[in-house]
Amino acid sequence: MAATKPIPTLRGEEKVYFEEAKNGRLVYQLCRDCAQRIFYPRTVCTNCMSENLEYVASAGKGTIYSFTTLHVPGHPEFADDVPYTVVLVDLEEGVRVLADLVDCDPDDVKVGMSVEVLFEAVTEDFTVPRFRPSAQ
């Protein structure tokens, strides 16, 4: 059995993001001053440097911008998972997130493929967003 998977030490905005994930929400930020959409969450807007930012939940749908399938585990804790695929997903709201792809044969993964988010509890306290091919 694989050891515990890595759980990041969370600080500041990072805590908010993963707390929202635990509630089943994939969030990004919207700048109330310039309407910039921001991922990952920050203290100031990447465009105008305003601190007037709000968290917004994504619909969780997007397309694969790129991907890689690991045939050698990135960490010993992933030894039982190979091959597994990590994806960069462009969400419909215009921000990009990184996660893994499940419920998909590695040979079928393609750039541009439609995917949707799901959430998985790694531990009681820590939940991560993941993606799977869209239902349609």
Give yes or no for a contact between 87 and 99, defined as CB atoms under 8 angstroms apart. Answer: yes
Least distance CB 51 / other proteins (angstroms): 20
- How crowded is the C-beta side of 113, counted as CA atoms within 13 Å? 20
Choose which of 33, 51, 77, 105 interacts with other proteins (CB under 8 A): 77
Q: Does 4 bind other proteins (CB under 8 A)?
A: no
Nearer to other proteins, 97 or 104 (CB): 97
Q: Where are the strands (E) in 1-136, listed by range?
A: 27-31, 37-38, 53-57, 61-70, 84-91, 96-101, 114-121, 127-133
133 binds other proteins (CB under 8 A): no
Among 66, 94, 108, 121, binds other proteins (CB under 8 A): 66
